[in-house]
Structure 1
């Protein structure tokens, strides 16, 4: 069989950002593909399951382009290798995503949001999950917000930008991915913060966020709106950075609000979310840039590669942010939230509370799949 090139997740991302279209042939089964796939503004994705190729049905090939390269993708890389080699023997241009969707799930991409003489703010996009984390750097010191599981990424980032990680915060108890916060704090000696309402009754080592009105380092002051900004979870907390940037966790998204039903108290938590939106966040300026912990649509990544929008734009574009009738708001949010929950969310929550410990391979496996932490409302 013909040799086909392997490309890494980082190389695939570079291709996706090159301005040229990228053709993906996904050979997982249709259910897996429909549930979770690689998306991009110029990605053209096709799904033909691997087993179809084993049947050597030549009619499959009529839908495949011969004039452009196809990146063949499967769960871990093996099936894609076979299909790519088979197609290459027939004259098609193919490459294989090394490690498949498993490798894509572990890819993190940093983008500088803001940089001046006082601080640097970096948004870290885990594209496979729509998860966003942040590094705030000032005078050689740093804070990591909503760290994901791969803590080596953050320690390497600290080396790259020459800062010491001193503060690590989780905006809330995550349900769709395993937090890297506690492990990163243990490795670096930094202080780990989370609201005590999220982890009370556990043995997790943490500093209660509600006991800190602000976290200051270098020339940065992070105001804890705390906030509490409950609603998605009771202890959800947002962070106002130098009165310019609101790291909103899963409370406010570019295109929606955090879903309040993951704790089984949709209406009760929706009432909390109402108070957050109309009694706390409404006091912030329209000019504040909202930087969430998740996004649900590739369209939320702007032309600068950043997921974020001013609070004014979100208020104007998100109808539910203007629905000041408490009862109608509660019904709308609680009703819309009752959709499919994040995969394995109960096990992931137990891990993030420090109540369950799993092997690294199991931890990676638990996170496979999409983010489902948002309730989206557009006009």
Structure 2
């Protein structure tokens, strides 16, 4: 009997349906513990591929009979071999065809808000904990924090019968490669990012600091650029229609951005303090915060997207109420730890256009979880 091969989109649909999912990950324990497929109603176990080469019954003790087992490895090959062994033993199995490589490049669009003038879409790249956005109005589209798989945004724009006219990065990303420059080349849109993020950059860009608002389609769709330094010196958030704060890596549902990736953790934490208690202090509790990263799949809300009101975030995150500057700084600096995004210096150089890499190298650099979101309880 031929093995059933499934893609990342089909696996996500199974997870999203709420039906119980059982995943057997056959990578080595270090890879599994660092980064794995997660979701609600999902059970996952790790039995390395090499263990199945031995006829040891303990390899099967946690595997259910009568329930579909999705076998996962790095690129698909090892999973297929294990699935063949399980199939012979009477288990119901399928294989994630290209493994974690495919999962790492899967994007899922969710509509957050829609009215007669505007549609706001969040694109969730689950494996990286990366979120990007598209604001659509009157046939025009603005894209914020696009990943490097630019065809995802072009497909959404085509489906919405919209032309991409503005592409923006909230900051210079350190854990994934921006699709901003390439997307603008492909579409003819303008690429915007803060000039302080792009020193010695080779990419063409329009400095965000020259603008305080943008028009996209209908008159009442305004995007207000708000400097929100802290995660990086030039971090910028965008307030859409006074209702939606696309906050980059400055404010998350579960905490604040890490200020240590430039080697100036204490100095940047001071900027983060000013952002929290001065810049956004006057924003209403009703404003919906939509970040560029998330740290936990459980942050997906009942509507299927990552986001929370400022009021909810202020209430649930003590750090947002820590008005003593010294205490705030110590807590933020102490929370970042030593787990920095791997290859982040090289990724930053790529995002400045100083270094060029092949698609294969880009994939290799991006493999692994998001480490820009730091939770503060």
TM-score (norm 1): 0.98
> How do 1:91-102 and structure 2 match up within 5 A?
91-102=90-101
> How do 1:243-254 and structure 2 match up within 5 A?
243-254=242-253
Q: Does 1:224 align with 2:225?
A: yes
Equivalent pair of 1:193/1:208 in contact (CA under 8 Å): yes
3-state SS of 1:283 partner: coil
> How do 1:1-379 and structure 2 match up within 5 A?
2-219=1-218, 220-225=221-226, 228-378=227-377
1:266-302 C-alpha deviation (Å, 9 max, x unpaired): 0000000000000011110000000000000111100
Measured after TM superposition, the shift of residue 71 of structure 1 is 0.1
Give, in whole Å, the separation in 1 of the partners of 2:20 and 2:6. Answer: 16
1:64-123 C-alpha deviation (Å, 9 max, x unpaired): 111211000000000000000110000011000010000000000000000001100000
3-state SS of 2:281 partner: helix
Measured after TM superposition, the shift of residue 202 of structure 1 is 1.9
**Equivalent residue pairs, number:** 375
Give, in whole Å, the separation in 2 of the partners of 1:59 and 1:188. Answer: 55
Give, in whole Å, the separation in 2 of the partners of 1:375 and 1:132. Answer: 15
TM-score (norm 2): 0.98
3-state SS of 1:20 partner: coil
Measured after TM superposition, the shift of residue 55 of structure 1 is 1.8
| RMSD, matched Cα | 0.7
Give, in whole Å, the separation in 1 of the partners of 2:376 and 2:170. Answer: 22
Measured after TM superposition, the shift of residue 58 of structure 1 is 2.3
Equivalent pair of 2:295/2:374 in contact (CA under 8 Å): no
Query: What stretches of structure 1 move > 3 A for 4+ residues in a row?
Result: none
Give, in whole Å, the separation in 1 of the partners of 2:56 and 2:327. Answer: 54
In structure 2, the gaps of 5 or more residues are none
1:180-202 C-alpha deviation (Å, 9 max, x unpaired): 00000011110000000001222
Give, in whole Å, the separation in 1 of the partners of 2:73 and 2:275. Answer: 42
Give, in whole Å, the separation in 1 of the partners of 2:53 and 2:15. Answer: 29
